[in-house]
Chain A
């Protein structure tokens, strides 16, 4: 899921359609009424826009139930080998973006490996259908411009649910809508019909890969919204630190001593530990 609304900003040839779509979405959002809000909605400092977010989330869930999930289930009917070929090829389109982002994050070895991966898989992997690079030890990296901003020290900002695209935050939204579309090879396919078809299939394929996770969340989550939000925020933080984020100590976790009666109800505003601008390697 790389573009989407970003297309409205990046393309002058077809703004009308996108505007109509956005208008329709807004209408559905308004008509859809309100998501049920928990009493503490908006109190989480990471999610001040929770009320709006929950409504967009509801809308996305409806869109998913009606269109995306059925399409993904249909996609799953394809033979596994063919799906893997598509999946690899779609990932390969992100190759240059990953290499560029690793460069911007000051990881030249990773970037060189990414370039190698892209070349090997594009040529010997027949356009990325196969993944001989992994057999050569050039492993997949997962990078995008949102992460690069994080590495540069930008804070994530408030949590944000983007219509159709799903969970994000202000920093990642800048990356995914403002920068990633231009780094993704999908954008440079000249034939519009092909460009959009590939883009749509990528989304369907990505959704298909999440079907099992979706079932797990159905069972495990008491509140899908906060489950998905918290998982997203944790996962993004982990990605920025390439899987090794420093431990965040929650003052509430200091458990063993019973709370003294005289403790003021208000928690100190500095409850969130200071985040280093430069993550560990």
Chain B
């Protein structure tokens, strides 16, 4: 009786088992994919990698900015949307800028930021990254990831990121250091330059500053 019951249900049981396996597999796959692209995990992995590299590299501790810049180029730049960053900082002026002007603005702003950021990064010694509470819904395409960089002695430095989900994955488009957003902090400066010399004036000022910094580095 029992045996026949079992036998008659066997095909069904098999099917159930197959389905369970398929669903488990799919779920694992989804979880893995999410872990790989979740913006907070991305920021954490990125920061840990950069901090580890700096710690391991003696020439960076020795003040070799070129090495830091290479590190930034390779590890960080692929995850940053400089065009959006520039666009937001330029604000209203962006609409009237030609494609060439936009490209020049983005290029020069990126150079300036990479250079100053590398300078700050070169000061890092024994810092650890700490993730702060992350609140985002699964469907969000614009999120805030909050972290703190903690030195072995002294106060933690809060470091937050805004990221946007794009076709190529999550991209950082704004950074906050100790409560100060980078894009916001360039808006009035850019507006001042534009009011004085137009978009070309701003491009000229940025280019000039980058040239000075490059020369100061050589000297």
Contacts and interface: CB of A to CB of B under 8 A. Distances in A.
Contact of A39 (B189, B195, B213): B195
A84 B151 CA distance: 14
Contacts of B186: 222
Given A255-B94, A259-B95, A222 B180 contact: no
A230 B158 contact: no
Interface string A218-253: 011111001101110011011100010101001011
Chain A interface main SS type:
helix
A193 interface: no
A52 to B, nearest CB: 17
A35 to B, nearest CB: 13
A243 B158 contact: yes
Contacts of B88: 253, 255
Given A39-B195, A40-B191, A234 B116 contact: no
Contacts of A231: 180, 185
Contacts, number: 79
B87 A39 contact: no
B193 interface: yes
B179 A252 contact: no
A258 B87 CA distance: 13
A51 interface: no
B155 interface: yes
Contacts of B187: 230, 250
Interface in B176-218: 178-181, 184-193, 195-196, 205-206, 209, 213
A234 B180 CA distance: 5
A221 B181 CA distance: 14
B188 A226 contact: yes
Given A222-B209, A255-B87, A255-B94, A230 B195 contact: no
Contact of A227 (B95, B178, B189, B195): B189
A223 B205 CA distance: 10
Interface residues of A, number: 33
Contacts of A221: 189
A235 B195 contact: no
Given A219-B213, A253-B88, A255-B87, A230 B185 contact: yes
Nearest to A247: B144
B188 A230 contact: yes
User: Which of B144, B153, B180, B195 has most A Cβ within 10 Å?
Assistant: B180
B120 interface: yes
A234 B188 CA distance: 13
Contacts of B192: 38, 40, 222-223, 226
B66 interface: no
A263 to B, nearest CB: 10
Nearest to A239: B179
Across the A-B interface, the 3 shortest Cβ-Cβ residue pairs = A238-B179, A40-B195, A220-B116
Interface of A: 38-40, 44, 84, 140, 212, 215-216, 219-223, 226-227, 229-231, 234-235, 237-239, 243, 245, 247, 250, 252-253, 255, 258-259
Given A219-B119, A222-B190, A238-B178, 9 more contacts: A40-B192, A216-B119, A219-B115, A222-B189, A230-B188, A234-B184, A234-B185, A247-B144, A253-B88
